[in-house]
Chain A
Amino acid sequence: DAKTTQPTSMDCAEGRAANLPCNHSTISGNEYVYWYRQIHSQGPQYIIHGLKNNETNEMASLIITEDRKSSTLILPHATLRDTAVYYCIVSIRGGTSYGKLTFGQGTILTVHP
């Protein structure tokens, strides 16, 4: 699996958009970008994934650059409950990987009142 690089920590004001960047310059053509988050004392939670098109769901938006070497997770209106560690992961789907994910250090997002 390709490796990812994320900032160690970020701050965001409540109600503002939180934009979390991720670099994955060695991503291969069949690898997807996944985002998970982990709120303190809980297990990780799946947020969103994408291949090359931008994606949006009820939790967040995912913007992937045209060359696929980086992506940004956007929380449009951050709340205090969004304070968590956010993990960007690249992985192939299916086949012998059986959904095996490699979690890095992630970005600690702190949302301030």
Chain B
Amino acid sequence: DVKVTQSSRYLVKRTGEKVFLECVQDMDHENMFWYRQDPGLGLRLIYFSYDVKMKEKGDIPEGYSVSREKKERFSLILESASTNQTSMYLCASSLPGLATDNEQFFGPGTRLTVL
């Protein structure tokens, strides 16, 4: 069974802290994505990566960075957490190619609260 796992389901951090959200997939997928989901705004793409050490900005990259040192792991970093980054964070992966690019497998999400 294919799997995308995220390091925490719930996380509480303080303003100004550096926060790491980890995502691991066991499907040997090249593409990985980070979204955030907020009520009334739907899912919004923060960053994505199409290969190890490669990254592309999504629609709302401000305040975030990412790291992809290994194929199976994609990390989202909040350099200095702020209260407006309180959200549900979702990681996804997919195989590259015309047949599979948009069939993304999602993790269960991390609900981050910044106090």
Contacts and interface: CB of A to CB of B under 8 A. Distances in A.
B42 A101 contact: no
A99 B106 CA distance: 13
A94 interface: yes
Nearest to B109: A43
B31 A45 contact: no
Contacts of A34: 102
Interface string B48-92: 101000001011000000000000000000000000000000101
A106 B39 CA distance: 12
Which secondary structure characterizes the binding site on chain A?
Answer: loop
A89 B99 CA distance: 16
Contacts of B35: 103
B103 A43 contact: no
A93 B98 contact: yes
Given A42-B108, A46-B103, A100 B96 contact: no
A105 B103 CA distance: 19
Interface residues of A, number: 25
What is the interface residue range for chain B against chain A? Answer: 20 to 34
A112 to B, nearest CB: 24
A32 B98 CA distance: 11
Given A43-B92, A103-B42, A94 B108 contact: no
Which are the 8 A-B pairs with shortest beta-carbon distances?
Answer: A43-B106, A99-B101, A103-B43, A94-B98, A98-B50, A99-B102, A99-B94, A103-B42
Interface of A: 32, 34, 36, 41-46, 49, 87, 89, 91, 93-94, 97-106
26 contacts: A41-B109, A42-B108, A43-B4, A43-B92, A43-B106, A43-B108, A44-B43, A44-B104, A89-B102, A93-B98, A93-B99, A97-B101, A98-B31, A98-B48, A98-B56, A98-B96, A98-B101, A99-B100, A99-B101, A99-B102, A99-B103, A100-B45, A101-B104, A103-B42, A105-B40, A105-B42
